Amino acid sequence: MDKDLAFIVSGGRTGTTFFGEYISEFIPDAFSVHEPDVVTQRSRRVLFKRIQDFGIWHMLIGRALGMTGIRPLSRRNLSGEFKDEAPLLGAIRQHRDSYFSRIDAPLVVESYSQWFGILPQLRKVYPEARIVGIIRDPREWVVSWLNHGGRHGPGDFVTMFGHKRLTPEMVGDMQWAEAWETMSPFEKLCWDWKIINGSIAEFCEADPGARLYRFEDLFLNEDDTPMRELIDFVADQPSGQYETKFRTDLLGKKVNSRGDKIAKWHAWTPEQARHLQAHCKPLMDRFGYGIETDWAEKLAA
């Protein structure tokens, strides 16, 4: 396919909506999109456009049956359902080739969290694509998801329609498999963070065409060097280096944010802190999270 590509992947709640909406402002010749084939509540116009782009089967019927969409492909891959990789590679091409080819811009940048479970296969399908992984402090990530709602709770649209989320049993994490049904949404999100970000970090650190960034360095840092590096990396494509213009006026924009209904980690109980630490400590240590004296005191309380 005669198109330059970049994929931005995370566990969600990490600014991927920002990149989908605004990275084309930083790279004028790029087309950027966030979750291009996800059923959205944003507006009927957006949903109708996506049905036009991907078809009724892909967007509605197949999705309702759990047969289309990147989410089930990631879950099935991590669960070991694809004994032969060929059907998975074919499904990725079927999901994206036609859509990308119809876009006029020479560079397409897609931000979507659910690629995390099939990154090695995404690389095989699009060997020249730039891939960016973004991780976030699990203490902030869990709170952000709880404030956002709709994951592991009564309003979870995935399970409401009879579909499955990834579980410890699916990936052979037997340490947590038996306790899963009795774990709170908070505890399940801690486990999610470990699995999602472990997959992203493992891929990005081994792949020369990928880069890994911390959310905090991109969005909460007075030094804009990491964001400039990300933009330049996405713009550095096999066909050449795309022109960029750095828009400092856009960096403060919040996209898809939610109010703080759930307390930040400073107000957590020691038990909550220890739950998160039990799942996330190895990756937290690796990326410099949880080094505060207050956090150590809470764990020891």
Concatenated DSSP letters for 172-195? T-HHHHTTGGGS-HHHHHHHHHHH
| Long-range contacts from 253-256, C-beta under 8 angstroms, 24+ separation | 253/18, 253/22, 255/15, 255/17, 255/18, 255/21, 255/22, 256/17
Task: Please check whether residue 277 lies inside any domain of the structure.
Answer: no
Task: Count how many domains the chain has.
Answer: 1
The average pLDDT across 106-115 equals 96
- Chain segment 49-77, per-residue pLDDT in tens: 888 888 888 888 888 887 789 999 999 99
* End-to-end Cα distance, the chain: 57
Distance of alpha carbon 71 from alpha carbon 158, whole angstroms: 10
Task: Answer for the pair 135, 192: CB distance below 8 angstroms, yes or no.
Answer: no
Q: Which residue has the tokens 């550095």?
A: 236
User: Rg of the chain over CA atoms, in angstroms?
Assistant: 19
Query: In this predicted model, which residue has the larger pLDDT, 38 or 93?
Result: 93
Task: Please check whether residue 94 lies inside any domain of the structure.
Answer: yes
- The parent domain of residue 36 ranges over 4-261
Backbone angles phi, psi at 56, to 5 degrees: -65, -40
Percent of the chain clearing pLDDT 90 (strictly above): 73
Query: In this predicted model, which residue has the larger pLDDT, 286 or 264?
Result: 286
Counts of helices then strands in the chain (DSSP H, E): 16, 7
Output the pLDDT for position 111: 96
The average pLDDT across 152-179 equals 86
Distance of alpha carbon 34 from alpha carbon 9, whole angstroms: 10
Output the pLDDT for position 290: 97
Residues 6+ apart with CB under 8 A from 187: 275, 279
- Chain segment 228-243, per-residue pLDDT in tens: 999 999 999 999 999 9
Task: Please check whether residue 9 lies inside any domain of the structure.
Answer: yes
Task: Please check whether residue 21 lies inside any domain of the structure.
Answer: yes
The mean-pLDDT minimum among 78-87, 155-164, 180-189, 206-215 falls in: 155-164
Task: Please check whether residue 200 lies inside any domain of the structure.
Answer: yes
Task: Please check whether residue 298 lies inside any domain of the structure.
Answer: no
The average pLDDT across 38-43 equals 72
Q: What is the CATH number of the domain that holds 122?
A: 3.40.50
Task: Please check whether residue 60 lies inside any domain of the structure.
Answer: yes
Query: In this predicted model, which residue has the larger pLDDT, 26 or 15?
Result: 26
Task: Please check whether residue 282 lies inside any domain of the structure.
Answer: no
